[in-house]
Amino acid sequence: MDLSMMSYVELAIFLGFLCKAWQKTKFFLQFTFSILAINAVTCYCADKSLRAFLTYIWFFLLSKNFSQSEKSFSLKECAISVALAIGLVTGVPAMESPAHATPANSSIPDVSVLISGPPIKDPGALLRYALPIDNKAIREVQKPLEDITDSLKVAGVRALDSVERNVRQASRALSQGKDLILAGVAESKKAEAQELLDKLAVGLQELLRIVEERDRDAVKPKQKELLQYVGSVEEDMVDGFPYEVPEEYRNMPLLKGRATVDMKVKVKDNPNLQDCVFRIVLDGYNAPVTAGNFLDLVERHFYDGMEIQRADGFVVQTGDPEGPAEGFIDPSTGKIRTIPLEIMVSGDKSPVYGQTLEELGRYKAQTRLPFNAFGTMAMARDEFDNNSASSQVFWLLKESELTPSNANILDGRYAVFGYVTENEDYLADLKVGDVIESIQVVSGLDNLANPSYKIVG
């Protein structure tokens, strides 16, 4: 792994402090807080020069503080402090890839450092909130239904008391806000939305009966069904594609809406899991070029029969075809087809292209599709060329609880265009050499504009 400038600084400080461990008093607290502060500066300060400056200042102050005391402390305390410090410095593991799994010039960062984001981690919820709509009434129905997930974290049937409050709140919000919800639906979809809302109202009463009967196991499936109704109503609120893609990209395959695909993987050397189907929702509202490129390749059967090429516990990656080319070669040009980096920022009306948010100076901006769910799907690219993505894709595997919020190094640097919404937990079981038997479109193919696969038959 290549160490960044800050990695060398931290290593130097660590070694310097380590040498003083055997003779300086209060080392345990001072050392621990110093490393925490250094890591905090590294994570939250976007400018590298400022990070380095603040780190050097902190080191100077800590050195002066150390020099004021000459008392020693016990070997036990020293051992504990050193162990804790090592854990803090090395606790963020490297996102390294085997040489045979990922080409050097089509990669994601070499460190899986501080991957996190907004508190929403459920892929379905992320997709609902990513829709280009503004209807408070439907959100007031959605939120308590999503809160059921947290309510169920309480052990036993005691959780059902909280679930009951969630259901009653959602039912009340639906009753009071139904007219406002329908007013936000596209005119051509009002009849469909009315039917969905009727099903939602009935389903809420059914869920209430489930709770009253204390049938905890039946709650989650019913919750999922009701949230699907909510999501469908919200999608009916989108009236057409909400913006124009820049002219230089308009002739590329574009997904102007959403599409769903099923990826069937043949798992080797695992008697407990042989075939697994992953359902993936592609979001063209927030990444039309990226999602359109992938869906076009799916219809070309580009990924069928391809092996998983990287599976290291942090990501699962594929899409590098056989031969010297590291992406999809467009038959019409004989060259690798590449797409631009495409990032949609929360609050913006259209994506930004070709530049990372860091390069744009938008350090505090939140992406509409964050790397926040297990199974977040994004394009791999050359680390030093924003517009080099072609066919290689990856799914992120991580534990959000282990990393602080809003310190995600991937958001704004790599284009997310979908989430695995079913069987995502099995991604962690995939290994290099497992085979993608097929990826098939379930819905949304009619949202694909300029499909190149039709041109070549």
User: How high is the pLDDT of residue 399?
Assistant: 56
User: How high is the pLDDT of residue 113?
Assistant: 37
**377-430, pLDDT tens digit by residue?**
999 999 999 999 999 999 999 754 444 444 568 999 999 999 999 999 999 999
Which ranges of 219-352 does DSSP label H, i.e. alpha helix? 219-236, 288-299
User: How high is the pLDDT of residue 272?
Assistant: 79
Is the CATH code 1.10.357.10 the one for domain 123-237?
no
**227-245, pLDDT tens digit by residue?**
999 999 999 999 999 999 9
**Rounded Cα gap, residues 129 and 117, in angstroms:** 14
**pLDDT at residue 132 greater than cutoff 50:** yes
User: How high is the pLDDT of residue 119?
Assistant: 60
User: How high is the pLDDT of residue 356?
Assistant: 97
* 70 vs 419: which has the higher pLDDT: 419
User: What residues does each domain of the chain span?
Assistant: 123-237, 247-449
CB 265 within 8 A of CB 437: yes
User: How high is the pLDDT of residue 107?
Assistant: 47
Instruction: Cite the beta strand spans of 63-208 per DSSP E.
Output: none
C-alpha 60: how far from its chain's center?
38
Backbone angles phi, psi at 32, to 5 degrees: -60, -50
**pLDDT at residue 213 greater than cutoff 70:** yes
**259-279, pLDDT tens digit by residue?**
999 999 999 887 778 789 999
Which structure tokens are listed for 22? 């055997």
**pLDDT at residue 34 greater than cutoff 90:** no
pLDDT band at 83 (very low <50, low <70, confident <90, very high): very low
Question: Considering the entire predicted model, what is its pTM?
Answer: 0.75
CA distances from 104 to 96, 107, 221, 326 (A): 11, 6, 43, 10
Q: Provide mean pLDDT across the span 331-357.
A: 96
pLDDT band at 20 (very low <50, low <70, confident <90, very high): very low
Place of tokens 């300060």: 45
Which structure tokens are listed for 112? 């899986």
Least confident of 37-46, 124-133, 383-392, 446-455: 37-46
Residue partners of 202: CB distance under 8 A and separation at least 6: none
Q: How wide is the angle at C-alpha 96 spanned by C-alphas 397 and 278, nearest 5°?
A: 30
Q: Read out DSSP for 383-430? A: TT-TT-BSS-EEEE---GGGS-TT--SSTTTS-EEEEEEESGGGGGG-
Same fold, 123-237 and 247-449: no
**Rounded Cα gap, residues 111 and 94, in angstroms:** 4
* 361 vs 73: which has the higher pLDDT: 361
Helix, strand, coil % over all residues of the chain, rounded to 5 = 45, 15, 40
**Rounded Cα gap, residues 59 and 35, in angstroms:** 10
**pLDDT at residue 59 greater than cutoff 60:** no
Which CATH number is associated with domain 247-449? Answer: 2.40.100.10
User: How high is the pLDDT of residue 2?
Assistant: 37
User: How high is the pLDDT of residue 274?
Assistant: 78
Least confident of 47-56, 62-71, 330-339: 62-71
